Amino acid sequence: MSKSALDGIRVIDMSRVFAAPVGAQILGDLGADVIKLERPGVGDDGRGYGTAWVEGKDGIETRQSSFFTVSNRNKRSVTLNHTKPEGQEIVRKLVESADVLIENYKVGDLARFGLDYESLKEINPRLIYCSVTGFGQTGPMAALPGYDGLFQATGGMMAVTGIPDGQPGAGPLKAGPSLVDFITGHNTALAIMGALLYRAQSGEGQYIDIALLDTSVAMVSHIMQDYLISGVPPQRLGNGGNGGGPADLIYCSDGIIYLTAGTDEHYRRLTVLMEQPELFTDPRFDSNFKRGKTNRAELMDIINAWSRQFTQAEVQAKLDGAGIPAARYNELPDVWEDEQVQYRELRARTPHAFAAAGYVDLIRSPLAQMSASPATIRLAPPMLGEHTDEVLGELGYDEAGIAALREAKIV
């Protein structure tokens, strides 16, 4: 079996909901031992988010929502009241042998309990301590709470997403998934892995300040860069591509395809395929800017008049045969019927001892194709406190000691 990239790395995950838990999960996928600390009886707030929950066997309430399930595999759950001295002592014991601690409490909150970076690095100078918040640790808004939708609005993403002005339903639009949260989680894992490499060179731990705000601005990417270069805010393009054109949904007699013929050569091939080669030199469409921006709607009407004559399968075959990038539009059930999705084994059926089905279907990590140290799924998302006794035993607590902690509602 391949050795995992992060074998031997221990992560203390004190985060809740989505962004930071995703970061901890990525580390777990890459082999780290991730110990998730949750409030006794309540657990991660994310356990109650979403619209679907894993059904438990024999009437067991799993408290594993879609939010929790998608961001907490490969973790061991320990219930712990860190507001009590006995709970703080357990955190400090864990930190002695930990490499990383991830938290997403309000700025300064954990300092009240002596669990901030300055306090814990005295115990373990090699500790990498990562705080994930909405607005960051500094600045006039640092103390404010924040969730994904706020940052899609604040960071510019909604400004460039939605139906173009002048069309029915025009206006800014939030992306369906919690993209700022999700990418913030990836930035969290990336920063931590960078810090691990730095520690390997210097022997020093460090503090990491990750903000959803910072991620939300950065992820507008080349569209934001357009504005920084030109000073002109780009218009919303609906489903249109933000690079070359034509790039948009095209409609067939029985389905939808997304077409990207953004280079001159791809556009030339498209005009030949459509048996309208004169469109290639047509002055309305003879530049990428005209095809993708100023005359985009007019060109898409012409392309749709052609594509509606054929079925989705026929159009896809024609485009594939001409080497023009295109892909069918999938509803969520269709995604899992897609032959490439199936070949890549992106639906990861994972044993789950407490699920009614005996398993839970998870989404395979995009990092699973590394040839020497791939991301793997070793543990299903944990039940609340499932590993409390196990982890405390590793810290040296005996059965009587654990029972006393449970009686005192510390764990």
Please name the residues in contact with 393: beta carbons below 8 A apart, sequence gap of 6 or more. Answer: 402
Task: For residues 224 and 232, give the distance between their C-alpha atoms in angstroms, rounded to a whole number.
Answer: 10
Stated as kind and residue range, the H or E segment containing 256 is strand 256-260
CB atoms within 10 A of CB 99: 23
Please name the residues in contact with 50: beta carbons below 8 A apart, sequence gap of 6 or more. Answer: 65, 66, 67, 68
Contact of 61 with 111, CB cutoff 8 Å: no
- The closest alpha carbon to 273, from 248, 298, 239, 309, belongs to 309
Task: For residues 373 and 384, give the distance between their C-alpha atoms in angstroms, rounded to a whole number.
Answer: 29
- The closest alpha carbon to 259, from 250, 267, 272, belongs to 250
Task: For residues 259 and 327, give the distance between their C-alpha atoms in angstroms, rounded to a whole number.
Answer: 7
The one catalytic residue among 33, 116, 181, 248: 181
What size, in residues, is the chain?
A: 411
Contact of 57 with 378, CB cutoff 8 Å: no
Task: For residues 226 and 258, give the distance between their C-alpha atoms in angstroms, rounded to a whole number.
Answer: 24
- Tokens for 5, please give them: 């990239």
Task: For residues 30 and 374, give the distance between their C-alpha atoms in angstroms, rounded to a whole number.
Answer: 7
Question: Which residues on adjacent β-strands are paired with residue 33?
Answer: 10
Tell me which amino acid residue 301 is. D
**248 is a catalytic site residue:** no
Task: For residues 85 and 410, give the distance between their C-alpha atoms in angstroms, rounded to a whole number.
Answer: 9
- The closest alpha carbon to 37, from 20, 64, 16, belongs to 16
What helix, strand, coil percent values describe the chain, rounded to 5? Answer: 40, 15, 45
Sign for the pseudo-dihedral over CA of 48, 54, 60, 64: negative
The residues annotated as belonging to the active site are 181
